[in-house]
Amino acid sequence: MKRASKRIHRFLATAVAVTTAALQPASSWATPGAAFPWDAPLEALQQTLVGPVAHSLIAMSFIGAIFAYAIAGDSEIARRFAKAGLGVSVALGVLRLMNYLVP
């Protein structure tokens, strides 16, 4: 009986401590709207990956994949490269369509 009582007491003490710690506001919690030092480089990288540079690179990689498939014939590597180029081009087309439909 004493063992069960100690277990229940220990469990309740742990539950109260965890609940108190979780509900107590802490200064280390993230606040909305706070600017972090890495936000500006990440936004610049995002603009580069979504902007016209990315579209040009994707178009050039697709053209290169088609040329590699045409020159290499039925090679497994060329086929995979062409499939990757086609997949990325389709993804770019869907991205442009979504940006047009939902600005």
pLDDT single digits (tens) 1-29: 566 677 787 887 888 877 777 776 655 55
Q: Name the band, by pLDDT with cuts 50, 70 and 90, for residue 101.
A: confident
CA dist 45 and 4 (Å) reads 58
First to last CA, the chain: 67
Tell me which residue has tokens 């909305």. 32
Q: Note the pLDDT tens digit of each residue in 39-91.
A: 788 788 777 767 777 778 778 878 887 888 888 877 888 888 888 888 888 88
Contact present, 89 and 62 (Cβ < 8 Å): yes
Q: Position 38: which residue type?
A: W
pTM of the prediction?
0.44
- Supply the pLDDT for residue 7: 77
Contact present, 87 and 65 (Cβ < 8 Å): no
Q: Position 4: which residue type?
A: A
